[in-house]
Amino acid sequence: MSLLTDWRDVAYAEDMDQKTGQVFWGNYFTIEKGIYEQLLSNPEEVVTGTVEELANKYNTTLQIMTGFLDGINESLKEPNPIETMEANTVVNLGFDLEKLYYNMVEASADWLYTLPQWENLLSDARRKELYLTQKKSGTIVKEKKVGRNDPCPCGSGKKYKFCCGK
């Protein structure tokens, strides 16, 4: 089995009770925050190495590192082969700053997109713009329905009921 399959079996186990789940995810989010703090402190450096080397570098388990790699994969400039990843698979953490911020907002990970490191990386205006863009992306805007006595939207000048509403 691949590392990703092992991670998902544990992280999303249906038989995990609520208290165990809270402890598990609380621990994971704390470690994830620490890794992001280090990555965002030096964003120009593209961290590379095997999954096992990165787990050791960030002082975590192979399983937690796999979960981290699964989470960051969509924000990378070159995605890692997470589906087939093993302990000796070489991966990179070269991320796109704006894409990473956007994806953190999408995941509602306020403990990540409010990190103080972002203040030095993206302007306040750009962060607000990315935040609003992401929040609006899931909003469905219904246009006002045309009434039968309203002017026709085709621009003919006729009432809708005598034009396109027939």
Is the confidence at residue 78, as pLDDT, over 70? yes
> What is the structure's pLDDT at 137?
85
In this prediction the pTM is 0.79
For residue 77, give the 3-state DSSP assignment: coil
Strand partners, 90: 50
> What is the structure's pLDDT at 79?
92
> What is the structure's pLDDT at 60?
94
Task: Tell which phi-psi region holds residue 23, choosing left (phi > 0), alpha (psi between -120 and 50) or beta.
Answer: alpha
Q: What is the mean predicted confidence (pLDDT) over 57-78?
A: 93
> What is the structure's pLDDT at 124?
93
Nearest Cα residue to 112 out of 40, 47, 27, 57: 40
Yes or no: say if 71 and 80 are a contact pair by the CB < 8 Å rule.
Answer: no
> What is the structure's pLDDT at 165?
84
Query: For 2-31, what is each residue's pLDDT tens digit?
Result: 889 999 998 998 888 899 989 999 999 999
Rounded-to-integer distance, Cα 138 and Cα 68, Å: 25
> What is the structure's pLDDT at 15?
86
Query: For 24-67, what is each residue's pLDDT tens digit?
Result: 999 999 999 999 999 999 989 999 999 999 999 999 999 999 99
**What's the mean per-residue pLDDT of the chain?**
91
Size of the chain in residues: 166
> What is the structure's pLDDT at 144?
84
> What is the structure's pLDDT at 55?
93
Is the confidence at residue 69, as pLDDT, over 90? yes
Is the confidence at residue 74, as pLDDT, over 70? yes
> What is the structure's pLDDT at 16?
87
Rounded-to-integer distance, Cα 54 and Cα 26, Å: 21
